[in-house]
Structure 1
Amino acid sequence: MTDFTPSLNDYPYQVELTTRLEDNDENGYINNVTFYSFFDTAVSRFLQTHCPSIGESTNITTYVVSSQCQYISPASYPEAIFVGVRVAKIGRSSVTYGLSVYAGESQRRVAHGQFVHVYVDKMTDNAVPIPADIKEALASNMEEF
């Protein structure tokens, strides 16, 4: 266990997102399920930027097989949201992303978690090895805390 708390700048890839009024719950805070949407959007943008060949493959897709989020402090609309993305682990057919969500001008850390993709053959729904070019792109964005 470490006492290290990463800042947004510690992540090799960052996304800025805009909150919406409908993201708030009845207490006036961003609803917990919305954080998973932030994770999904950030990972999707990361892949579009660093692994564009995923979309080019007609027979391979990715499935989210695991996700988790730990909440640190509340955030509310209309605060800006910043998501830091790092590749935490690369397996034979899966990749684990580490993510942190920061809010507001001060970019205070409000949540962190993990998101796991498995590479799957579209026809058989069986896990397949991560294609070499994608694995190389993922490895070049790997960060360990």
Structure 2
Amino acid sequence: MSNPIPQRSDYRHFQPIITRWHDNDVYGHVNNVTYYSFFDTAVNTYLIEVGGLDIHDGDVVGFVVSSACDYFASIAFPERIEIGLRVGKMGSSSVQYELAVFKAGEADACAAGRFVQVFVDRASNQPVAIPVGLREALERLVVL
């Protein structure tokens, strides 16, 4: 494997998640598409709870414009997992999140992904500067 397996110590924030019965596929493990849901949940929970993002009535929303995931080990229901979150790059209107899925208490990631989110005006869908509260919350997650 050319890429080393990400470690828990590489991430700034963790979102606990419990896998659900319907996350498993016919092969008996969590289906690959579900990892993207875990990533989205971790990021949006952080943005809402720490950054003050108002997903229902706010003027600004975030659109995912790019995503990818690499898999190292499988997980299955029932499993307690933690999604590690950090920010790799941040521009004026966009941010690249770097995420990893860890079994609770384990150091090695089962999967690692990334996605780019662009913040846009809800009414026009045009990019806008990341609002101050969100930017401050995101800056806490930046890795150098």
TM-score over 0.5 (shorter chain): yes
Cα distance in 1, alignment partners of residues 46 and 35 from structure 2: 16
Q: CA deviation at 1:3?
A: 6.4
**Aligned-partner Cα distance in 1 for 2:29–2:50:** 32
Is the Cα–Cα contact under 8 Å of residues 86 and 99 in structure 1 kept in the other structure? yes
How many residues align? The count is 142
Residue 132 of structure 1 is matched in structure 2 by: 132
Q: Does 1:47 align with 2:47?
A: yes
- Give the equivalent residue in structure 2 for 1:73: 73
Q: Which moved more, 1:74-83 or 1:99-108?
A: 99-108
Q: Could you tell me which runs of 5 or more consecutive residues in structure 2 were left unpaired when the two chains were aligned.
A: none
Matching residue of 2:100: 100
Change over 3 Å in CA distance of 1:80–1:108 after alignment to 2: farther
Counterpart position of 1:14: 14
State TM-score, norm by structure 1: 0.87
The residue identity in structure 2 corresponding to 1:21 is: W
- Asked if the contact 1:88–1:143 (Cα under 8 Å) also holds between the matched residues in 2, the reply is yes
Hey, what's the Cα distance between the residues in 1 that align with 2:59 and 2:104?
40
Unaligned runs of 5+ in 1: none
Range with greater deviation from structure 2 (133-142 or 91-100): 133-142
Residues 12 and 84, structure 1, Cα contact 8 Å, conserved in 2: yes
- For 1:133 and 1:13, the matched residues in 2 are separated by 17
CA distance in 2 between partners of 1:43 and 1:4 (Å): 23
What corresponds to 1:121 in structure 2? 121
**Could you state the TM-score of these two structures normalised by the residue count of structure 2?**
0.88
